[in-house]
Amino acid sequence: MELKVVFLGTSGSMPTPERNLPSIALRRGRELFLFDVGEGTQRQLLKAGMGFKQKMYILITHLHLDHVSGLPGIIHTLSLLQRKAPLMVFGPPGTLEYVRSTIRRVGNLPFKVVVKEVSAGVVLRGPDYTVYAAWADHSCPCLAYAFVEDERPGRFYPERARALGVPEGPLWKKLQSGKPVILTTGKVVKPEDVCGPKRPGRKVVYSGDTRPCDSVVRLAEGADVLIHDSTFGEDMADRALEDGHSTASQAAEVAKKAGVLKLYLTHISPRYRDATPLLEEAVKVFPFTTLAEDLMEVDVKFRETPVGEECT
């Protein structure tokens, strides 16, 4: 199943001609997860060709306006489109009152808005994924989120199945799905007899606004993608500390400590019309770093695994 990250907004505090306010879209199959909804998010969704019809979850890191000012527009648009499916909104304490005040201004809605105020821990469980949260270190209560797929079955090795007398067909399929089978001889063959070790699913982490902190490092451990606050350059480290943000090189340190595969710098201060110097600082610490740009798309692939027959 395709897992795609789309950067809808990569600026911090104020929009610029090149960068919209913070919002990250994660699309998996027919589900859409929006991490923060800065002003203009709905227009960015349209420009990215994502629309509003899929199942949608909104996950808010904190209630500073640059991260939530797009929510009224999204709710209003969904109302005009006569949406029927519920809209799920997650966020820290205070989210419920903000959403209620928004609904009062939009008016009667043809759909339900379900708000869950959350803390560190499990936020949402899907059929084969989990969304976790951890507290970040900002100037107000702020969460970071991790989208984590369940483990996948190990690779299936047909020669092992044949050697154990398992006939090709439905029994192979059952073993590939992680279930034991019983042969006509009464012999039980377990998945681990014919499959390699289980393989990790994909993991995407979004920090929200934060100083570098151990809680985000732990949340991001082993992630395929880390999207981290990189508001300032190293010459503004004191300002970053004061305002509750990170420099690009500090974000790179977090990525390095967490052992992630790829780091994306976002929440870029409007003072940087050209943010290339931030990227240059970060790659000195963590080479696998990319400077995020609005409407950039990232396909998150499964990790490479030993040669064998792919389980289905």
Beta-strand ranges (E) seen in the chain are 3-9, 23-28, 31-35, 55-59, 87-91, 113-117, 121-125, 129-135, 143-149, 181-182, 188-189, 203-206, 225-229, 262-266, 289-291, 297-299
d(CA 172, CA 162): 10
Q: For strand 289-291 and strand 262-266, is the pairing parallel, antiparallel, or unpaired?
A: parallel
Nearest CA to 292 among 302, 304, 282?
282
Enter the DSSP assignment of 235: G
Long-range contact pairs involving 100-107 (C-beta distance under 8 Å, separation at least 24): 102/71, 102/72, 102/75, 103/75, 105/72, 106/72, 106/75, 106/76, 106/79, 107/79
Annotated active-site residue in 36, 66, 209, 224? 66
Cα 45 to Cα 41, 126, 134, 276, distances in angstroms: 6, 23, 26, 26
Q: For strand 262-266 and strand 113-117, is the pairing parallel, antiparallel, or unpaired?
A: unpaired
- Contact of 67 with 37, CB cutoff 8 Å: yes
Q: Is 66 a catalytic residue?
A: yes
Instruction: Give the catalytic positions in this structure.
Output: 66
